[in-house]
């Protein structure tokens, strides 16, 4: 039987004496990625700022971090891994800082603590940062995305009660909703966040209006499984390991992975306030560089991913069974209804830096969806907002220090599940207005 979840108090684990980089690259074909040397052997005993950092063209004057102790909030999800590993492997000390990961209960709590300065930065929903920037996800405050933490690896889970009625996927859900009229409730994790946007996009792609034909509620990720168990909703969109947990507890199944909605989609970011970046630019760069090193480590080998899963499964982090985390980290999926597969687009933390670069087009996409669903009443200046929020210069300097490749452009395009192409270099206003199903 699956182990019962426990109530945990956040504690800072002991820093290891050396980073574990053992293990040959034994990743299966489902993880076709270029592997990079982690370059972190002995990193935890480096107490001075890395020479590459000192040599960088940073702010005038000293390049030493203005703040040596930094509190980075996280929600217990698999994709908090790079923040946790930067701390537990001692990679933060390589760049002259000490990261204290602090476990938070909800995205609203993360937002509030970022805004009031209780947290220096956070593992945070990409769309949450943009919502606060424009005043649609709480009090308006200038915010900053320092980097992307991961691509892919979320899912939409539907309840076992729907499976008993023959639902297996989006078309099956649509057919049931047309046949059996009642209020259908689906949960996301924050109104302007990534999970809300994936859920709404998926429902609309299957002809279901998420505002008119369903009810959307907000539930913190760790509470998703318990709420669906007692019948509070018919499905949810959240990060791992809570979709895998729903299957293990036999209360739900995976109807869609988010990488099937948008391959290599942006997900969590390292977010902070614009004020923090202005007053602590060297600290911001050091945080990014350390987390980039951790991202390299995680994606470096199967054994590194296993070590990561073992670490974050602890009570002070995600607080669940290690195997529940590991399988989907390795791209080993089951949908809970008998289907199994190796997913070539499972959660990635590095991908030669492509999973980390703060592409302007990624931020712009969330704004188009905020407009589509009526969260924004007027079109913003999409590019201007993205340029203000996404700290491309900070990232580039940190990536140079961490020897991470940089993309050729600040923009990337994609074709999503409904066949619609997102290209930020075209007309984002027309894109946002062009959907048949919208608010």
Express each pLDDT in 195-214 by its tens digit: 999 999 999 999 999 999 99
* Model pLDDT, residue 94: 96
| 32 — pLDDT class (breaks 50, 70, 90) | very low
Query: What is the rounded CA–CA span in Å between residue 291 and residue 85?
Result: 8
Identify the CATH assignment for 154-261 out of 3.40.190.10, 3.30.365.10, 3.10.180.10, 3.30.70.920: 3.40.190.10
Q: Is the per-residue pLDDT at 11 higher than 70?
A: no
Query: What is the rounded CA–CA span in Å between residue 200 and residue 100?
Result: 34
Q: Is the per-residue pLDDT at 43 higher than 50?
A: no
Q: Is the per-residue pLDDT at 356 higher than 80?
A: yes
| 182 — pLDDT class (breaks 50, 70, 90) | very high
> Of 155, 339, 173, which is closest to residue 259 (Cα–Cα)?
155
Mean pLDDT confidence for 365-378: 98
Express each pLDDT in 294-316 by its tens digit: 999 999 999 999 999 999 999 99
- Mean of pLDDT over the chain: 89
* Model pLDDT, residue 176: 98
| 3 — pLDDT class (breaks 50, 70, 90) | very low
Q: Is the per-residue pLDDT at 271 higher than 50?
A: yes
Spatial neighbors of 269 by CB under 8 A, at least 6 apart, are 124, 125, 126, 129, 145, 146, 147, 148, 149, 358
Query: What is the rounded CA–CA span in Å between residue 262 and residue 365?
Result: 12
**Host H or E run for residue 188:** strand 185-188
> Of 307, 311, 431, 421, which is closest to residue 379 (Cα–Cα)?
431
Homologous superfamily (CATH) for 29-151+266-410? Periplasmic binding protein-like II (3.40.190.10)
- Determine whether 22 is exposed, middle or buried from the number of CB atoms within 10 Å of its CB (0-12, 13-18, 19+): exposed
Domain with CATH 3.40.190.10 in the chain: 29-151+266-410, 154-261
Express each pLDDT in 397-422 by its tens digit: 999 999 999 999 999 999 999 999 99
Q: Is the per-residue pLDDT at 125 higher than 50?
A: yes
Express each pLDDT in 128-147 by its tens digit: 999 999 999 888 999 999 99
* Model pLDDT, residue 122: 98
* Model pLDDT, residue 61: 52
* Model pLDDT, residue 138: 85
Residue 29: CB atoms within 10 A of its CB come to 8
| pLDDT-wise least confident of 39-48, 329-338, 347-356 | 39-48
């Amino acid at each position: 039987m699956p182990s019962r979840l426990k109530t945990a108090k956040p504690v800072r684990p002991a820093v290891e004496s050396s980073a574990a980089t053992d293990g040959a690259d034994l990743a299966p074909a489902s993880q076709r990625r270029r592997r990079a040397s982690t370059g972190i052997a002995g990193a935890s005993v480096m107490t001075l700022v890395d020479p590459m950092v000192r040599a960088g063209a940073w702010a005038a004057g000293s390049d030493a971090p203005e703040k040596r102790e930094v509190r980075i909030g996280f929600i217990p999800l698999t994709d908090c891994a790079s923040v946790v590993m930067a701390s537990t492997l001692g990679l933060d000390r390589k760049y002259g800082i000490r990261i204290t990961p602090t476990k938070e209960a909800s995205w609203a709590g993360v937002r509030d603590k970022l805004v009031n300065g209780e947290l220096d930065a956070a593992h945070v929903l990409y769309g949450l940062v943009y919502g606060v920037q424009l005043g649609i996800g709480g009090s308006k405050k200038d915010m900053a995305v320092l980097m992307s933490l991961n691509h892919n690896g979320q899912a939409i889970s539907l309840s076992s009660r729907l499976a008993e009625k023959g639902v297996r996927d989006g078309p099956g859900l649509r057919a049931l909703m047309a046949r059996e009229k009642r209020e259908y409730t689906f949960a996301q994790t924050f109104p302007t966040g990534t999970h809300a946007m994936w859920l709404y996009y998926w429902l609309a792609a299957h002809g279901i209006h998420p505002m008119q034909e369903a009810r959307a509620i907000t539930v913190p990720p760790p509470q998703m499984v318990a709420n669906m168990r007692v019948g509070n909703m018919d499905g949810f969109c959240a990060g791992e390991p809570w979709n895998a947990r729903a299957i293990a507890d036999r209360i739900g199944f995976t109807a869609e992975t988010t990488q099937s909605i948008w391959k290599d989609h942006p997900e969590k970011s390292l977010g902070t306030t614009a004020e923090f970046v202005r007053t602590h630019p060297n600290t911001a760069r050091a945080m990014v560089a350390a987390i980039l090193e951790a991202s390299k480590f995680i994606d470096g080998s199967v054994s590194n991913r296993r070590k990561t899963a073992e670490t974050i499964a602890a009570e002070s982090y995600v607080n669940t069974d290690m195997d529940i985390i590991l399988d989907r980290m390795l791209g080993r999926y089951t949908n809970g209804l008998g289907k199994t597969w190796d997913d070539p687009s499972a959660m990635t933390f590095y991908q030669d830096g492509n999973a980390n670069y703060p592409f302007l087009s990624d931020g712009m996409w969330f704004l188009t969806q905020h407009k589509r669903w009526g969260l924004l009443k007027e079109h913003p200046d999409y590019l201007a907002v993205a340029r203000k929020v996404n700290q491309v210069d900070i990232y580039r300097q940190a990536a140079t220090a961490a020897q991470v490749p940089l993309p050729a452009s600040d923009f990337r395009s994609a074709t999503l599940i409904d066949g619609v192409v997102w290209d930020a270099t075209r007309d984002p206003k027309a894109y946002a207005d062009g959907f048949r199903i919208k608010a």
